[in-house]
Amino acid sequence: KFAEYEEIGIAEYWIVDYAALGGKRFIGSPKQPTISVYTLIEGEYQITQFRGSDRIQSLSFPELSLTAEQIFQVVL
């Protein structure tokens, strides 16, 4: 889907891996709950990852003031 989303111009999408089920190449090692924000910049996705007390940054939601942990608490 990554390439398809780039092709049709989806400006931003998020993957919320609250259970740390993603592969190490996607969420790092040691595996931990991670929010990955993919932002389309000049036709290619740039990924930013957030964990724990990291404050989420989003071009689509610039007023958002939540940490990754706050989002995980709602999901669980």
For residue 39, the enclosing domain spans 2-75
> How many domains are contained in the chain?
1
pLDDT in the model for residue 76: 56
pLDDT digits (tens, 9 = 90+) for 6-61: 999 999 999 999 999 999 988 888 899 999 999 999 999 999 999 999 999 999 99
DSSP 11-68: -EEEEEETT--S-HHHH-SS---EEEEEEEETTEEEEEEE-TTPBP--SS-TT---BH
pLDDT in the model for residue 28: 85
